[in-house]
Structure 1
Amino acid sequence: MTATIKDVAKKAGVGLGTVSRVLNNHPSVSEETKKKVLEAIKELDYNPNAIARSLKIKSTNSIGVMIPDISSAFYSDIVRGIEDIANKYKYNIILLNTDLKREKEKEALITLKEKKVDGILFISNTINDKLKKDFRKINIPVVLIATKDKNEEFHSVTIDNEEAAYKATEYLIKLGHNKIAMLAGKNDDPNAGIPRIEGYKRALTENKIAVREDYIFHGDYKFKSGFQNMLKIIKLKDKPSAIFAASDTMAVGAASCAMQHGFKIPDDFSLIGFDGIELAQYFYPPITTIKQPRYEMGAKGMEKLLKLIQGEEIEKGEVLEFELVERSSCKLKGD
């Protein structure tokens, strides 16, 4: 008589779901359990039909990845982390660029549902009520990367943006700066904009430095907004001695503008960025930054999604550690 998956489960002393996860090489199974199942499969000469198994669990072994801007240096390492874990477990990636536009996000969700993806990774954009409703409607497991929804209904992988901004601003304060401007994101963005502004303000307040609204300049994290806002800063009569930029790309834009107008970094302006992209590392002078663990965010997000697909209970929000990387764009005030 031909052995069945039930026979394997009984022999190994595990449930049917565990055998299924071993057959699909899922990361959630311990090495000890995997060994028991594989030994049972060998002893019983069990030969699963891959096609039948795929039909039974209705799996396409494909994952949809919704990314705001495929050309952005920030997202490349996140996608690399996703891809490496996906390849390891034989999943295909469908990458869709949304340009942070709600209509394109809606179209992307329709496309992914039609392609019957097993799960979706949504990267970076703010999660509003309409998008949450769309997520529920398609009834496909979703994990958020570099963003989270307000009530944490969905699983996510992020950093503590407020604390990271606090540490960046505190670093400048410890160097003796008390006139610190911020190149911020949007003040209605609960994902990264507001938390980073709040972290900046908290660091100033706790160090008894007045928060000056005329030192906060809003942008879209891109080079052009960093450049244009730096034009405003260099025209100020009471110029800051240091600047915290909420993205490395804005920091590079600001530095380029300053140097084109005869100012020096860090002699005239100390400058710290945010993200840890290569552009900041190889710019001259190399820019001090808050480094986000972007590869790890992608890898962790993919691992979390695979567990959701298998019906496992896992923690909702995972907050990863960031790192302050010191380079040449900051110096002690007065040196």
Structure 2
Amino acid sequence: MDKQTVTIYDVAREAAVSMATVSRVVNGNPNVKPATRQKVLDVIDQLDYRPNAVARGLASKKTTTIGVIIPDLTNSYFSELARGIDDVALMYKYNIILASSDENHDKELQVVDNLTAKQVDGIIFMGNQVSKDLRDAFNRANAPIVFAGSVDPEHQSPSVNIDYVAAVTDAVAKLVGRGNRRIAFVTGSMDESINKDYRLKGYKQALSSKRIGYDEGLIFQTDYSYKAGYALAKALQDVKATAAFVGDDELAAGVLNGLTDAGVKVPEDFEIITSNDTRFTEISRPTMSSITQPLYDIGAVSMRLLTKLMNNEEIGDKTVVLPYGLKKRQSTK
């Protein structure tokens, strides 16, 4: 069946339900039995039905709606990105549905399916891990998706970020340049492509360019939380590290305070460079040196890229790389 000619009537007939029921499913109305909703969604999927956006807008006074999936609402990195997304969405008079996945894989799948049921016109994804299940859910959504401040390891979806490999290489090279030979690499899960394929690669590049051997014992993967960073202080002392690159600012603040409370002086005895330049870098004492990223711009450019995809405009490069910098503060000598 030509998808241009598939109508709500075809979906209703195929699913053996009323057109009103299909309409309720399409508009995300909760008053539909789960089994019926699933049956209708399966038929929509099968027939590749796309409600006519103009007709739908007229019928329900609905405007273009964007789903924004954020892994952690409390993390300044994501909230700063969200500000840039929101401002551009406002400019285009788009509605935003902000959905938090709490860095939980099952919840992430549920969030994507909920957004699909609400027939969002586009999705901005900020997570760092794309499983096969999630990829399938994205395909079911049948709407353009842009990765903001995160990476798509398979380069299937457009993304906006910085050159994480180069940024980490520069940061770690700075630590080596100041005489550190045992530099810890502290980050979130290595299941996340951004850590395994990008940050770790930058770390290794910096060491090998300075002829320093790679030591597995200096690699620490943990949660992106203050508590997790604080708890690492003893382990960092045990491996005789004199510096650390940390993949998240809240995590870095935990490392900093954990070391300070253990009597380790930062930066005299231990240097820290963190990665996102959020407000944590300014409110910690000492303040923290960091890779700088144009977080607001990453969000804004992601939203603008999504508008182009939704309007079927020509886009040049699917991966937009914005410039980064290094900001020297008090946590490095």
TM-score range normalised by the length of the shorter chain: 0.7 to 0.9
Whole-angstrom distance in 2 between the partners of 1:103 and 1:186: 17
Correspondence for 1:259: 260
- Superposition map of 1:128-277 within 5 A: 128-236=131-239, 239-277=240-278
Correspondence for 1:96: 99
Correspondence for 1:309: 310
Task: Spell out, residue by residue over 1:216-265, the C-alpha distance to the aligned partner (whole angstroms, 9 max, x if none).
Answer: 212122212211222211234xx222211122222111110111111111
Amino acid of the structure 1 residue aligned with 2:323 = E
Whole-angstrom distance in 2 between the partners of 1:52 and 1:217: 53
Identity, in percent, stands at 36
Task: Spell out, residue by residue over 1:283-316, the C-alpha distance to the aligned partner (whole angstroms, 9 max, x if none).
Answer: 1110000122211111011000011110112121
- Superposition map of 1:277-296 within 5 A: 277-296=278-297
Whole-angstrom distance in 2 between the partners of 1:81 and 1:103: 27
Whole-angstrom distance in 2 between the partners of 1:185 and 1:110: 26
Structure 1: state its 5+ residue gaps.
1-50
Contact 1:188 1:194 in 2 (8 A): no
Amino acid of the structure 1 residue aligned with 2:220 = F
Whole-angstrom distance in 2 between the partners of 1:141 and 1:188: 25
Structure 1 residues 181 and 106: alpha-carbon distance in aligned structure 2, compared to 1, 3 A threshold: closer
Task: Spell out, residue by residue over 1:151-203, the C-alpha distance to the aligned partner (whole angstroms, 9 max, x if none).
Answer: 31111112222221111101111222222122133223212344211211110
Amino acid of the structure 1 residue aligned with 2:106 = E
Contact 1:185 1:193 in 2 (8 A): no
Deviation at 1:59, TM superposition (A): 6.4
Deviation at 1:114, TM superposition (A): 2.4
Whole-angstrom distance in 2 between the partners of 1:95 and 1:327: 34
TM-score normalised by length of structure 2:
0.79
Contact 1:161 1:192 in 2 (8 A): no
Structure 2: state its 5+ residue gaps.
1-53
Partner SS for 1:144: strand
Partner SS for 1:65: strand
Whole-angstrom distance in 2 between the partners of 1:179 and 1:235: 12
Deviation at 1:55, TM superposition (A): 4.2
Contact 2:66 2:123 in 1 (8 A): yes
Amino acid of the structure 2 residue aligned with 1:65 = V
Contact 1:186 1:194 in 2 (8 A): no
TM-score normalised by length of structure 1:
0.78
Q: How many residue pairs get matched?
A: 279
Whole-angstrom distance in 2 between the partners of 1:151 and 1:125: 12
Whole-angstrom distance in 2 between the partners of 1:288 and 1:224: 20
Whole-angstrom distance in 1 between the partners of 2:273 and 2:78: 20
Please tell me whether Structure 1 or Structure 2 has the larger radius of gyration of its CA atoms: 1
Correspondence for 2:26: none
Whole-angstrom distance in 1 between the partners of 2:131 and 2:314: 25
Whole-angstrom distance in 1 between the partners of 2:231 and 2:161: 29
Contact 1:185 1:219 in 2 (8 A): yes
Whole-angstrom distance in 2 between the partners of 1:259 and 1:86: 43
Contact 1:59 1:118 in 2 (8 A): no
Contact 1:128 1:149 in 2 (8 A): no
Correspondence for 1:329: 331
Deviation at 1:119, TM superposition (A): 0.8
Task: Spell out, residue by residue over 1:120-145, the C-alpha distance to the aligned partner (whole angstroms, 9 max, x if none).
Answer: 11113212222122111121111111
